[in-house]
């Protein structure tokens, strides 16, 4: 659940730092700040009409999430993902998601709470892509996708695997690569997630391995293509 939703549910107003954090994060996603672009604290303070302090705090939080790079003697900049790093991310995801299939099937066989959370997440994804043009609200679908895969790995019982996955995700987010994914690909992802759950719930290890591999490789190809196009089509102005 994202910070804004948590605050809304608790009835709390966003703090100034949280608001600036969300605005910078959104501007990164919308490519208003380009990968590799230096982020000047005073310029950002003027842009968002605040003092330097909440900007510094927001940038540090984004650096902790790996959306922003903090380079000694150079300051902060939007994280710049390379094609090799993008490929490595999917290699890691494929290894983790297939390595733990036996444990995941075993856990989902008895853990009804986790099963229900996965089912509810999938139903939420279905409603979203059916009722919305998901490419217009990419951050919302990104959050649902992130939750699905986090729950899936939670069933492995391996906290380090969850931590690795969580640390990998912001890199594609930071470049805008994931958020440029078209609506039809989001629809394909939902169908692929459904195939993963079906195989996991029925205990079919071969089908689960295949469903995971299909999903990871399809996502790899889609995001690699988006990444390449982004490198060719440079922003104007």
pLDDT tens-digit map of 61-71 = 988 877 888 88
Q: Are 190 and 198 in contact (CB under 8 A)?
A: no
Per-residue tokens: 49:
């009409």
DSSP conformation class of 108: H
Q: How many domains does the chain have?
A: 2
Residues 209, 112, single domain; the answer is yes
Between the two ends of the chain, the Cα-to-Cα distance in Å is 36
pLDDT value of position 14: 66
pLDDT value of position 177: 58
Instruction: State the residue range of the domain holding 150.
Output: 83-232
Kindly indicate the confidence band of residue 53, based on its pLDDT and cuts at 50, 70 and 90. Answer: very high
pLDDT value of position 175: 53
pLDDT tens-digit map of 166-191 = 877 655 555 555 567 788 888 999 99
- Give residue for tokens 């959306």: 67
Residues 195, 90, single domain; the answer is yes
CATH code at position 156: 1.20.120.530
Q: Are 18 and 164 in contact (CB under 8 A)?
A: no
């Amino acid at each position: 659940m994202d910070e804004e939703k948590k605050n809304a549910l608790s009835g709390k107003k966003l703090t100034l730092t949280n608001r600036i954090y969300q605005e910078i994060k959104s501007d990164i996603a919308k490519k208003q700040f380009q990968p590799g672009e230096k982020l000047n604290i005073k310029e950002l303070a003027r842009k968002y009409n605040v003092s330097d302090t909440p900007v510094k705090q927001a940038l540090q939080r984004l650096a902790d999430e790996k959306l922003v790079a903090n380079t000694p003697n150079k300051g902060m900049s939007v994280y710049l993902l390379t094609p090799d790093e993008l490929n490595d991310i999917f290699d890691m995801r494929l290894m983790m998601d297939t390595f733990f299939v036996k444990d995941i099937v075993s856990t989902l066989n008895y853990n009804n709470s986790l099963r229900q959370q996965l089912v509810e997440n999938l139903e939420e994804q279905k409603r979203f892509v059916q009722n919305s043009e998901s490419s217009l609200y990419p951050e919302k679908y990104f959050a649902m996708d992130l939750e699905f895969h986090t729950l899936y790995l939670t069933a492995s019982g391996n906290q380090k695997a969850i931590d690795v996955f969580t640390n990998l995700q912001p890199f594609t987010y930071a470049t805008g690569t994931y958020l440029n994914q078209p609506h039809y690909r989001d629809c394909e992802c939902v169908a692929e997630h459904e195939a993963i759950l079906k195989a996991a719930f029925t205990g079919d290890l071969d089908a689960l391995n295949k469903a995971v591999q299909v999903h990871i490789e399809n996502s790899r190809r889609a995001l690699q293509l988006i990444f390449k196009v982004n490198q060719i089509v440079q922003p104007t102005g």
